[in-house]
Chains A and B, each alone.
Chain A
């Protein structure tokens, strides 16, 4: 590691209170693509549910283009994709459901 500035701008911004921590809960095909059921992410303050998913998708190529094909639940309540999240929120990414028979 050299002493060059870290690429994680968001981490520096944290001290200034300009980022939020979100716990992402992942299921089914999204969990499988990510290789995890849970991810802790830092996102710029003002980030939406969709925006936080896009941050994950930037890391997981298999999730590209899926932001409009999943639903979002904040702290166990369905919310519209453009809902602004708060620090400490839990965001569940809900792929199209297929329970029943």
Chain B
């Protein structure tokens, strides 16, 4: 299992390579991409900030949980921090399992859990301002 926070563009190919092994009949990846709008409002760029030691700890906890629950062979999670342009990947997850069902479910679990528990924050920039996205506050 590799867990990383990076200030550089994520090399998704490298993650996929690391989970590509003969015993893995199913490989599933999730790429979170910076979208050019928020509910129709044009977004110009994003910024991610993390409480890095805790974010790493929490990502590892989620990875281990997924490994155990779905019997995964490989888990790779990489999250980008800092300023991102439209179209760049903010997060890439790659999992490898003997069969596809486990790979699909585990990948979905990891991204869904990541979004609710890992201390990472997103700031959206618009043409006329910027705002920190805080899901529970927004209801």
Contacts and interface: CB of A to CB of B under 8 A. Distances in A.
A68 to B, nearest CB: 10
Interface in B84-121: 90-91, 111, 114-121
Given A27-B121, A100-B90, A95 B132 contact: yes
A6 interface: no
A32 B47 CA distance: 13
Interface string B110-139: 010011111111110000000011111100
B70 interface: no
A10 interface: no
A101 B132 contact: no
B91 A29 contact: no
A99 B51 contact: no
Give the interface size bracket for B toward A.
20 to 34
B120 A99 contact: yes
Interface string A70-91: 0001001000000000000000
A25 interface: yes
Contact of A99 (B53, B122, B132, B136): B122
A100 B132 contact: no
B136 A96 contact: yes
B24 to A, nearest CB: 24
A100 B79 CA distance: 7
Given A27-B49, A28-B49, A28-B121, A101 B134 contact: no
Contacts of A73: 51, 54, 119
B1 interface: no
B87 to A, nearest CB: 12
Interface in A18-45: 25, 27-29, 32
Interface of B: 32-33, 48-51, 53-55, 57, 79, 90-91, 111, 114-123, 132-137
14 contacts: A27-B49, A28-B121, A28-B132, A28-B134, A29-B121, A29-B132, A73-B54, A97-B116, A98-B135, A99-B119, A100-B79, A100-B120, A101-B33, A101-B90
